[in-house]
A and B are shown apart, each in its own frame.
Chain A
Amino acid sequence: MPEATGNVTIPQLLTTPMRILPLWPVSMALSQLARNLLYAHPEILHRIDKYQNHHFELDITDLPFVLRLDPARAQLRAFRRGAAPASDARIAGSFAAFLAMLHGAEDGDTLYFSGALQIEGDTSAVLALRNALDDAELDLGAEIANALPFLAKPLRQSLAPLERLTGLHLTRADTTPEVY
């Protein structure tokens, strides 16, 4: 299990090509993932409740684009930084922080206390989303494999070594780091 951290960042070697990447295929793939995920975990929308129609800007600060989540329409789209339509709430942090929180390795409040995560806009909506995703006990690799079955085998073989190599929480945390 990698060290719990929000400070690991994506190397520039990877982000530089992303700057010229067309964003529409990224948006298509991410929205497909969001649709599959919300279909498989209907309790997420139930917990988000009255904030389903809110728009959330997920600003992954070490990526050259931001994501905009529309839960009610199951859309997760990428926009160049500064070009995204206005959202009701914005959550900003590193890719490592988002992954660690999503996979249950890091607590959202802990990341907020340390400054690794910032929020703006509708705080209620942010809490609803955070709590809904935490309760869903997601594993992003498993969700991608469900959406795109041909990726299941390579994901299964590569995620653990990649996790060790990068320090990112790429799989769901079923065990917690020792704290004593």
Chain B
Amino acid sequence: MELVCPAGTPAALRAAVDAGAHCIYCGFADETNARNFPGLNFSRSELAQAVGYAHARGAKVLVAINTFPTAGKETLWHSAVADAETAGADAVILADLGLLAHTAERHPDLRRHLSVQAAAANPDAINFYAQAFDVRRVVLPRVLSVEEIAAINREIDVETEVFVFGGLCVMAEGRCSLSSYATGRSPNMNGVCSPPEHVDYATEGTDSVARLGGFTIHRTPKGGVAPYPTLCKGCFTSGDKTGHVFEDAVSLDASKLVPKLAKAGVTALKIEGRQRSRAYVAQIVRAFRAVTDALEDGRDPPALALARLSEGQAATTGAYAKTWR
């Protein structure tokens, strides 16, 4: 199985390649991708160099251009696709119908993957993208069980890629506007969930308090485990209960399910975390490469101990094995 790994910087990309990534996904330093954070992402020349580094070592580079173009500013997204092709990218990861149509028409030789942001979660939707835009691979939303993924794979003729590690969202991808209510900006339109310029941390007594757009969304006692400052992982009072109303601060770890995902017909395993450092990338990639190598050799995959690297320092198998509370 192919291991698709995140890189927020050229250094992280090199770390991923050196640790054994088959594929690395990254984005340009603007709002065309869903990790538009300060100091992160690639310039055009950095991408070209990164592609050279990866190709020389047998790895592929995918460019995420997976936000939804703003009316009147489509040129930014169009030039991102053209520049990814010029840099030698092996594929682009797209979500918007208009951008898919533009790419299929103007860049027919550039391989197209459907981003998780498109939230294509059934065979009809996936087959439509495949027929209309010759999409070759679809990244499945993190709302499906392994059995549902197997059922989808039986009815489609394109590759599927699924997340196996990293942050989780509470909703079907591509549909979350929670952060817009507090900040006016959202992941789908601006490439940022909880834009950092709206995040404020303060120490109150011995607690660390996180605010988003002026709203207190989490309070971590000294020595406690802190989540990302997102509304979905916030701690709120509802009725007489106080807690994580939307979603617990845990991360996905489906490493133990990789053999089942392989049997379900999945082609590629995706690791979340372009916002993370090269230390994270190297450790996670190395660990998951051991899993895919074991699978390839017919051995039992090794048990991984990755919770320390996770948000909330706890892991879940998410919707793959549905056990709703």
Contact = CB atoms under 8 A, between A and B. Distances in A.
B279 A173 contact: yes
B283 A179 contact: yes
A137 B278 CA distance: 9
A33 interface: no
Contact of B220 (A48, A115, A136, A176): A115
Interface string B13-41: 00100010000000000000000011110
B227 A180 contact: no
Contacts of A104: 11, 15, 277-279, 282
B71 interface: no
B306 interface: yes
A132 B10 CA distance: 11
A107 B223 contact: no
A108 to B, nearest CB: 6
A132 to B, nearest CB: 5
Interface residues of B, number: 51
Contact of A179 (B8, B224, B278, B306): B306
B165 to A, nearest CB: 12
B199 A179 contact: no
Contacts of B282: 104, 176
A141 B280 CA distance: 23
Contact of B280 (A48, A110, A132, A136): A110
Interface stretch (A72-80, A120-128, A144-152): A120-128
How big is chain A's contact interface, by range? 35 or more
Contacts of B229: 123
Contacts of B195: 124
A118 interface: yes
B325 interface: no
Interface in B197-215: 197, 199-203, 208
Nearest to B41: A131
B226 A136 contact: no
Contacts of A24: none
B243 to A, nearest CB: 18
B98 interface: no
Contact of B283 (A121, A132, A176): A176
Contact of A123 (B199, B224, B287, B308): B199
Interface string A129-160: 11110111100000000000000000000000
Given A104-B277, A110-B308, A123 B203 contact: no
Contact of A130 (B12, B19, B39, B283): B39
B312 interface: yes
A65 interface: no
Nearest to A108: B277
Contacts of B196: 123-124, 126-127
Nearest to B228: A109
A113 B11 contact: no
A177 interface: yes
A103 B12 CA distance: 13
Nearest to B11: A135
B178 to A, nearest CB: 18
A129 B10 CA distance: 15
A107 B277 contact: yes
A114 B226 CA distance: 7
Interface in B302-325: 302-306, 308-313
A118 B208 contact: yes
Interface string A89-109: 000000000001100111111
A47 B19 CA distance: 24
18 contacts: A47-B39, A48-B39, A49-B38, A107-B276, A109-B276, A109-B311, A110-B280, A114-B308, A114-B313, A123-B197, A123-B200, A123-B229, A130-B39, A131-B38, A131-B277, A132-B39, A134-B12, A135-B278
Interface of A: 47-49, 51, 100-101, 104-110, 112-115, 118-132, 134-137, 173, 176-177, 179-180
List the 4 shortest-distance A-B pairs measured between CB atoms, nearest first. Answer: A131-B39, A128-B39, A128-B38, A107-B280
Given A104-B277, A107-B277, A176-B19, 12 more contacts: A101-B279, A112-B226, A114-B225, A118-B203, A119-B201, A121-B201, A123-B197, A127-B37, A128-B39, A135-B10, A180-B302, A180-B305
